[in-house]
Amino acid sequence: AASAAPPLPSPTPPASTAQPSAAPPPALALGARTHASPSVRLLARELGVDLTKVSASGPNGRILQEDVNAYVKAVMTASRAPAAAAPAALGGGLDLLPWPKVDFAKFGPVEVKPLARIKKISAQNLARNWVMIPAVTYHEDADITDLEAFRVAINKENERSGLKITMLAFLIKACAFALKKFPEFNSSLDGDNLILKQYVHIAFAADTPHGLVVPVIKDADRKTVSQIAVESGELARKARDGKLTPGEMSGACFTISSLGGIGGTYFSPIINAPEVAILGVNKSVTKPVWNGHEFAPRLILPLSLTADHRVIDGALATRFNVHLAQLLADLRRVLL
């Protein structure tokens, strides 16, 4: 299940409120470019600092010399802290074996291809989220027969205007509604506190030639499905062109990772910390469903919800899933 994850690639803009205070400052959001003067770049090179991991405090996101110094200081502090706080021998550390070093060329020809910058940042976020979040994935099927018929009819009506409503837009709207009903899903852990957000910003994973990025639809609860369709289309286009700004990739409360245009049945997306849940969606298929008298063909959308068990237990997660499936089965429920 982990293999398909990523969502979220957690291309998580890493500003996690749950990070220990000794941790290095948050890195740049995915897609951001580093701005720094030649002297600061030289200093970073001398100290072996990767500028993409340094928080900028200068104008227009420029990285200053003191930012590099602060980063180095934080790394040094963090590297001492865990040893003192949680010695591996006491079970607090992961105490993992080193990564296997294999000379693959001994077994046949190979090609070495450096990871793209987005993939490198995603990898670090994913690894942290994978080991730090006790996550469980819950599956549900939503009957979207009527919703898809409605979507097709509306798109036909709007053919001339060019407005195309996607299933993703309906999913974002339904999730926004469900997040308001289940506020724990719209929260973040901050130490012993749960931060409940009174805004509903929903991110969606967008596949691009450079890697996965996660643009955010702000205030999705206050937008119409048409507005969400237009905005998500524009954000996905910007993502593909590598033009998303850090602001367009930050502030998310919840993420949707839709593989519906590709296929699949179910998967286990990785939560994008400091969010507490993520919804994975695969391709809808027509299945025979017993209606009490006979098997009827229904269009079924597979949902995979991964939730942080520290905040959301199995009963709550299943209630959320059932509610979401009911909304998608009959979106008139959002009017109630």
Q: Which residues bind ligand CAO (CB under 6 A)?
A: 4-9, 166-168, 204-207, 212, 236, 257-261, 269, 281, 283-284, 301
> Smallest gap, in angstroms, from Cβ of residue 256 to ligand CAO?
8
Q: Active site includes 309?
A: yes
Nearest partner of 140 among 173, 178, 108, 107, judged by Cα: 178
> Smallest gap, in angstroms, from Cβ of residue 83 to ligand CAO?
33
The Cβ of residue 95 has, within 10 Å, a number of other Cβ atoms equal to: 9
Q: Return the number of the residue (14 or 302) whose C-beta is nearest ligand CAO.
A: 302
- Rounded CA-CA distance 100/57 in Å is 38
Q: Which of 201, 210, 309, 323 is catalytic?
A: 309
> Smallest gap, in angstroms, from Cβ of residue 157 to ligand CAO?
15
Q: Return the number of the residue (187 or 255) whose C-beta is nearest ligand CAO.
A: 255
User: Which residue shows structure tokens 């200093």?
Assistant: 43
Q: Return the number of the residue (14 or 260) whose C-beta is nearest ligand CAO.
A: 260
Nearest partner of 11 among 172, 212, 270, 257, judged by Cα: 212
Work out whether the CA dihedral 14, 18, 19, 21 comes out positive or negative. positive
R_g over Cα of the chain: 22
Q: Return the number of the residue (36 or 229) whose C-beta is nearest ligand CAO.
A: 229
- Rounded CA-CA distance 184/277 in Å is 9
- Compute φ and ψ for 92, nearest 5 degrees: -85, -25
- Rounded CA-CA distance 169/53 in Å is 33
> Smallest gap, in angstroms, from Cβ of residue 223 to ligand CAO?
16
Q: Return the number of the residue (63 or 220) whose C-beta is nearest ligand CAO.
A: 220
Q: What angle do CA 182, 188, 193 make, to 5 degrees?
A: 105
Q: Which residues contact 61 (CB under 8 A, 6 or more apart)?
A: 28, 32, 35, 246
Nearest partner of 146 among 313, 14, 288, 329, judged by Cα: 329
> Smallest gap, in angstroms, from Cβ of residue 328 to ligand CAO?
10
Q: Return the number of the residue (41 or 240) whose C-beta is nearest ligand CAO.
A: 240
> Smallest gap, in angstroms, from Cβ of residue 171 to ligand CAO?
8
The set of catalytic residues is 309
